[in-house]
Amino acid sequence: MPRFCTRCGQQSANDARFCHACGAPLQRPVTIVPAGAGPRRGLLLGAGLVLGLAVLVALGVWLLFGRTDGPSNAELETAAAQWLHQNESSLMEDACLDNLNYAANPLLLDAGDQSARQWMAVLVKAGVYAKPRQVEDGMGTRWRYDREPQAARYIRDGRLCVASGIKVAGVRVLHAGSPELERLPPGVSIPDNWAFAQLDLQWTGLAAWAQQPAVQQQLPGLASDRTQRIMLLKSAQGAWLLPSPAEQIGMQLQLRSLIAGAAVGKAVQEFSQKLGQALGQPGAPASEPSAAAPQSKGFFEWLKSLMSSRN
């Protein structure tokens, strides 16, 4: 808006600081703020600051104390991969055979070894070995089996393996009451900083001929897929990890304490009931014949069966 000199009344430029006619200083225009606008602006600013602070506090609490719903998917996958790395060699025992000297090429069998020849007939049909032929040597008449080119896929370190490896196809937390978990012994509960998880394992590079009955008979532990239960421990920082050997020992000691406490508590309760019945105290439950309560197996047997390497 135009600016006028309060001394001589002459109009000056909008950005002029002095009157061009008389040289008097010019006053800046005054901005009129509506009544109440200032308090409202302050309230909005304060509300925004409070909301931002609440978000930061909630985020800090979540990061400091961790989640309350058990291991995350990333933690489960990390623990599963670590467990598989530690146990892969023993798992592969169910997919490999050393019933014959597979390191030898050609492989020679006595003519009278009918059992071995029947097994080799399966491998000939699978294309691992060529059809045998009879040879004469210092041991007499024997059958000679030469490897086919694809034999290198199945013969490793002197063993015949029908799978190239094993992988984790899926992993999930097992919550209390899950059908995969057997019922805990009475009076014993899993600590809050423990978690059970189930791994779905699957063979990789499994030979098509591995499904034949003869192969299944030689490898009874072989299956197209399998499951494994593992235990995780929550660290002081809130992360769920696979327990170390030392931590596993500590968990076993803790279990012993829990079992002992539950056994003592049950014994005290039963003694109190029997004492009340003997003394004829009012309100004491009457002694009635009843069927014997089923005996639950010990917790360590339960844990052993639960953590068995394979189903």
* Confidence (pLDDT) at 154: 96
Closest CA to 116 of 126, 102, 103: 102
Q: What is the dihedral of CA 7, 8, 13, 14, to 10 degrees?
A: 40
pLDDT at 258 over 50: yes
Q: Give a three-class secondary structure readout of the chain.
A: CCEECCCCCCEECCCCCECCCCCCECCCCCCCCCCCHHHHHHHHHHHHHHHHHHHHHHHHHHHHHCCCCCCCHHHHHHHHHHHHHHHHHHHHHHHEECCCCCCCCCEEEECCCHHHHHHHHHHHHCCCECCCEEEEECCEEEEEECECCCHHHHEECCEEECCCEEEEEEEEEECCCCCCCCCCCCCCCCCCCEEEEEEEEEEECCCHHHHCHHHHHHCCCCCCEEEEEEEEEECCCCCEECCCHHHHHHHHHHHHHHHHHHHHHHHHHHHHHHHHHHHCCCCCCCCCCCCCCCCCCCHHHHHHHHCCCCC
Contact 184, 302 (CB under 8 A): yes
With bands split at pLDDT 50, 70 and 90, how would you rate the model's confidence at 292? very low
How confident is the model over 261-266, as a mean pLDDT?
Answer: 72
* Confidence (pLDDT) at 40: 64
Q: How many whole angstroms separate alpha carbon 86 and alpha carbon 84?
A: 5
Question: Higher pLDDT residue, 249 or 295?
Answer: 249
Average confidence score pLDDT of the chain? 80
With bands split at pLDDT 50, 70 and 90, how would you rate the model's confidence at 286? very low
pTM metric for this prediction? 0.62
pLDDT digits (tens, 9 = 90+) for 32-89: 555 555 576 666 666 667 666 665 655 554 444 444 468 999 999 999 999 999 999 9
- Residue pointed to by tokens 């169910």: 94
pLDDT at 299 over 60: no
| Orientation angle between helical segments 299-306 and 245-279, nearest 10 degrees | 140
Question: Higher pLDDT residue, 188 or 162?
Answer: 162
pLDDT digits (tens, 9 = 90+) for 127-180: 999 999 999 887 788 999 999 999 999 999 999 999 999 999 999 998 877 777
* Confidence (pLDDT) at 62: 43
How confident is the model over 290-302, as a mean pLDDT?
Answer: 50
Lowest mean pLDDT among 55-59, 236-240, 246-250: 55-59
